[in-house]
Homo-oligomer: A and B are copies of this chain.
């Protein structure tokens, strides 16, 4: 599973489709791309049921001069899309998403994202970092990312979220909660409107809530995990993108679990964010289709 493969370049386009399954979808889409002069470089599909289910498709294609033919291509595709009842989008690999990172005190997930971004493994622009604590300001400075310290208390939460939304403006394509220990209000989610990826430090749906390692130690589990998921109004219940675990044993204290768990948290979050940025994730009901 080449979990972080990215196909990039100015002429690389992506088409994502969700529609009722029926015969002829792939024939029609591939014919459309062929007629447009596009060369398919990757194609993945899935159907919940080939006879009356929902069909999902990711096609990555190369089309010379994509930048100027982009909107024309989309216009042309919309007729075909309508005839199949498709939810769809076309994106260009070169249109890097704009990302805001929210973080609290622990820096491990933030460091991992910034290092992978620097290494060319996250195809995005990181606009800014927002934190309710000042601790990670030096990390942001190292990587030259604007840092905003916005403390949050029960009393100031509403005002703090308003400041956050103002900073984000209309540009942000994705918020990543890199161990941000505040719960975003339903109002904030509505106002922002875009996707938000969170890393939960537990193997959901086990250990929902704020103390998963403590509960894991109490229960005596032999594995601890982490879960990257989209944020919904229902805490820790949004669509899961990626999970992983590490083996632990009776010797591990809660602080051991926290320390060891950091490593699985940061890699799980980084993979989920990379897949989202490369348009490899489709949300359907409360689940994800991930075309890795």
Q: Is the CB of B263 within 8 A of A240?
A: no
A91: interface (CB < 8 Å) = no
| Contact with A225, one of B2, B42, B223 (Cβ below 8 angstroms) | B223
Bits for A1-35, please: 1 = Cβ < 8 Å to B, else 0: 11111000000000000000011101100110110
A166: interface (CB < 8 Å) = no
Q: Is the CB of A39 within 8 A of B27?
A: no
Q: Is the CB of A223 within 8 A of B244?
A: yes
Contacts A2-B260, A30-B26 known; A220 to B239 CB distance under 8 Å? yes
| 8 Å CB interface, A253-267 against B | 256, 259-260, 262-263, 267
| Interface-centre pick from A40, A222, A240, A245 (highest chain B CB count, 10 A) | A222
Contacts A43-B43, A203-B203, A267-B263 known; A289 to B250 CB distance under 8 Å? yes
Q: Which residues of B contact A221 (CB under 8 A)?
A: 204-205, 240, 243
Complex: A248 Cα to B45 Cα, angstroms = 16
Interface size for A (C-beta < 8 A) is 70
| Contact with A41, one of B22, B47, B205 (Cβ below 8 angstroms) | B47
A182: interface (CB < 8 Å) = no
A108: interface (CB < 8 Å) = yes
Complex: A40 Cα to B205 Cα, angstroms = 34
State the Cβ distance, A101 to closest chain B Cβ, in Å. 16
| 8 Å CB interface, A88-145 against B | 107-108, 111, 115, 119, 121, 142
State the Cβ distance, A147 to closest chain B Cβ, in Å. 15
| Contact with A205, one of B108, B206, B249, B251 (Cβ below 8 angstroms) | B206
Taking A39-B51, A40-B45, A111-B115 as given, write out 5 further A-B residue pairs in contact, using a Cβ cutoff of 8 Å, ordered by the A residue number. A26-B30, A43-B43, A222-B290, A223-B243, A263-B267
